[in-house]
Amino acid sequence: MAIADEQAAKDTIVEALKKKKGKTKFYLKDYYKMLPDEKLMDVKRLVNQMVKEEILEYWSSGSTTLIGLKGLGKQHATEEDE
């Protein structure tokens, strides 16, 4: 089962991210909450798709992965600790 209206789902994610104050990068789980009615694997696929489309970008510590709007916030070093 895929997400029925992908564009709407993408917009929901971008809107939700723009509303967040302070932090700019989020765990995959936070994206699940933005689309509560969709299956987790589908949200995962969509989020990774949005990275490919360069709407979002990954941030990785090496052990953990965070995802945020491309170009926003710190580009390296630990965001959580600063």
Partner 1 sequence: MAKHKTPLIDQLESGPWPSFISDIKLEAESRAKNEKGLDYQIPRDVCEDLLGVLELSYKDGRTHWKHGGIVGVFGYGGGVIGRYCDQPQMFPGVAHFHTMRVNQPSGKYYTTKFLNDLLNIWELRGSGMTNMHGSTGDIVLIGTTTPQLEEIFWELTHNMDTDLGGSGGNLRTPSCCLGQSRCEYACYDTQELCHYMTLHYQDELHRPAFPYKFKFKFDGCPNCCVASIARSDLAFIGTWRDDIRIDQGAVKAYAGGEIPSNAGAHAGRDWGPFDIQKEVINLCPTGCMRYEGGKLEINTKDCTRCMHCINVMPRALRVGLDKGLSILCGAKAPILDGAQIATLLVPFVKVEEPYDELHDIIGKVWDYWMEEGKNRERVGELIKRNGMQEMLKRCDLEPIPQHVQEPRANPYIFWREDEVPGGWKRDIVEFRKHHQR
Amino acid at 48: N
Nearest to 69 by CA among 56, 82, 54, 51: 56
Applying CB under 8 A, does 7 fall inside the site for partner 1? no
Applying CB under 8 A, does 8 fall inside the site for partner 1? no
- Contacting partner 1 within 42-71 (CB under 8 A): 44-45, 48, 51-52, 57-65, 67
State the nearest-atom distance from the C-beta of 27 to partner 1, in Å: 4
State the nearest-atom distance from the C-beta of 15 to partner 1, in Å: 22
Residue in the structure block whose two tokens are 């969709």: 38
Euclidean distance between CA atoms 71 and 3, whole angstroms: 26
